[in-house]
A and B are shown apart, each in its own frame.
Chain A
Amino acid sequence: MGAAQTFTPIASRPAPEKLTGTLAWLRRNLFADWTSSIATLAIVGLFAWVLPGIVEWGLVHAVFRPDNEACREVAGTGACWGVIAEKYRLIIFGRYPFEQQWRPLIATLLMVTLLVASCTRPLWSKWLIVAWVVVLVVFFVLMRGGLFGLTPVETSRWGGLPLTMMLSTLGIACAFPLAILVALGRRSHLPAIRSLCIVYVELIRGVPLISVLFMASFMFPLFMPQGTQIDVLLRVFVGITLFAAAYLAEVVRGGLQAIPKGQVEAAASLGLSYWQTQRKIVLPQALRLVVPSIMNSFISTFKDTSLVTIVSLYDLTGSLALALGGDANWRQFYLEGYFFIAAIYWVGCFAMSRYSQWIERQLNVSNTR
């Protein structure tokens, strides 16, 4: 009670000096107390200890020219990046005929371009599917030849990056829809479908990829009638797809289980059929929940394709072994070669990982209040 109070705003003033600036940031984040100070010093010490060695080996004493003599002189103290300059075509294209290597180059570039386009939202339309069909046809015509005056090249001579790209892209593209069907099948009310899906997942997940590939390439032909020939590349591709799909199916199933029963009931009460409900209500929600795990599976599949080496298909890793193993002069510089391969894989995986983060942000719009 009494006289009404008058409101007098407090004038704004700058934050105190000790709360802003680099020094304050350092103190707050790196040297807040004695444990974080020790951790900071330990990590800086580790870098100071390791980095100079890496820089000396990789840059200072390294040889960048494809000069075998120079490379041998610095062996042990400096890297020989010259081996890549010397062998890159063999590493990237494997045993593909040397003078024809423009064909896999164009085929791979086309596929990479379309992959990037497919990841760009404004370009998502029906034309993208058409583009994929066209590019796949062009890819195989270029790689295989035998048409338009192109010299035929057997699939056993395909190798390197085009093979890795093809196996992982098509493997993932085919495994994903299959995985969704299997995941839905495992939750089906029809016992026959459910058992089939469970047997499939448990069987494939229970064995290593290597054994699947062995079976696809060596055992499978034994069971085929005489005279039937299925290309080994196709068999291996099917093996990779089935293997990846089994894992992906479980990832997708995890997402499906997180969708409340009420969502399906609401869809049913509106008269939506089973497939409409899955497509419009359940899957869009379930898949966005498991984007990180899906990308995890994609990345594994991408790297798992390197295992086809053991059934004599020369993907990137295989063609590296081929490129260096057959040449006594350069054989000892395999470490640098593996760095090169690792860099290629890393760029692919890192791009996939960033893309998955972007997708997650795009899909989370409806969950932000």
Chain B
Amino acid sequence: MSEEIIISFEKVNKWYGQFHVLRDIDLSVRKGERIVICGPSGSGKSTMIRCINRLEEHQEGVLKVDGVELSDDVKAIEAIRKNVGMVFQQFNLFPHLTVLENLTLAPMWVGKIPKKEAEERAMAQLNRVRIAEQAMKYPLQLSGGQQQRVAIARALCLTPKIMLFDEPTSALDPEMIKEVLDVMIELANLGITMLCVTHEMGFAKSVADRVIFMDQGQIIEQNTPHEFFNNPKSDRTRDFLSKILNH
């Protein structure tokens, strides 16, 4: 992990109407860092990472991604999105396209890469997530775990510098969670910057460089996994951990 800062939040605030969803977020992410974000629902975790590729707009503060400040500049946003891959809770694969077409779409239309090369790249990513034999199927013909692995491969096809995961295993059957986590652990070893909203504490312990705990739109606590789980500083964190770890 280098010392170079790739994402920085400075006093970022956001409101949904009158609801103050992000409050004075300060966060610096180093290149290659792997961060797990946890917290109760409605705490603003998803909103925060969705600000990074501007699926959500922040209203106050400065948010810089890969050296570019996020503003209303559409071209800048599109450039950032090329470098930021995202994996969603509901997979969000394009159901009218085959698995292969799902993967080649952005490289061909955004990356302007010839079809043949885009397909080679796509097959390489499908091999990585061990699903190459399903390339010609449509997403709805696959299981949830398979769909999520395709979604990860799709995000990787633009060779992003940053990967955002928004509760990638929350919509999956328990049996399928492992196959997705295994793929994510492999990615973590590649040195790509990862921000992952998840409740999979085992994943956090084994992979994360830093765990962030959020509640009511604020970052309450951030620390190494070891410190975070064994020695939480805030009583709110302790309360949360006791609820999710002891059942």
Interface residues of B in 204-239 (CB under 8 A from A): none
A272:B109 contact, CB within 8 angstroms: yes
Cβ A271 vs Cβ B82 within 8 A: yes
Q: Are B82 and A269 in contact (CB under 8 A)?
A: no
A residues 339-369 in Cβ contact with B at 8 Å: 365-367, 369
7 contacts between A and B (CB under 8 A): A266-B93, A269-B55, A271-B78, A273-B74, A280-B109, A365-B138, A367-B138
Q: Which of A260, A268, A271, A276 contacts B55 (CB 8 A)?
A: A268
The chain A residue sitting closest to B50, CB to CB, is A265
Chain B 49-92 residues near chain A, CB threshold 8 A: 53, 55, 74, 78-79, 81-82, 84-86, 88, 90, 92
A interface size (C-beta, 8 A): 22
Distance in Å: Cβ of B49 to nearest Cβ of chain A: 11
**Chain A hits for B53, CB < 8 A:** 268-269
B96 part of interface (Cβ distance < 8 Å): yes
* B78 partner residues in chain A, CB cutoff 8 A: 271, 273
Q: Which residues from chain A contact B109 at a C-beta distance below 8 Å? A: 272, 276, 280
User: Residues of B with Cβ closer than 8 Å to A?
Assistant: 53, 55, 74, 78-79, 81-82, 84-86, 88, 90, 92-98, 105-106, 109-110, 138, 140-141, 154-155, 158, 164
A285 to B93: give the CA distance in the assembly, Å. Answer: 12
Of B88, B109, B140, B141, chain A has the most CB atoms within 10 Å of the CB of B109
Flag whether A262 is at the interface (Cβ < 8 A): yes
A266 touches B94 (CB 8 A): yes
Query: Across the interface, which residues of A come within 8 angstroms of B84, CB to CB?
Result: 269
Closest CB in chain B relative to A191 CB, distance in Å: 16
A263-B92, A268-B81, A270-B154 known, 9 other contacts, Cβ within 8 Å = A263-B94, A265-B55, A268-B55, A271-B79, A271-B81, A271-B82, A281-B94, A285-B95, A367-B95
Closest to B82 in A: A271
Please determine whether B94 and A272 come into contact, CB atoms closer than 8 angstroms. Answer: no
| Contact in complex: A265, B95 (CB < 8 Å) | no
Contacts A262-B92, A284-B96 given; does A269 touch B141 at CB 8 Å: no
A288 at interface (Cβ–Cβ under 8 A)? Answer: yes
The 10 A-B residue pairs with the shortest CB-CB distance in the complex, in nearest-first order? A266-B92, A270-B106, A269-B86, A271-B81, A262-B92, A366-B138, A271-B110, A271-B82, A366-B96, A284-B96
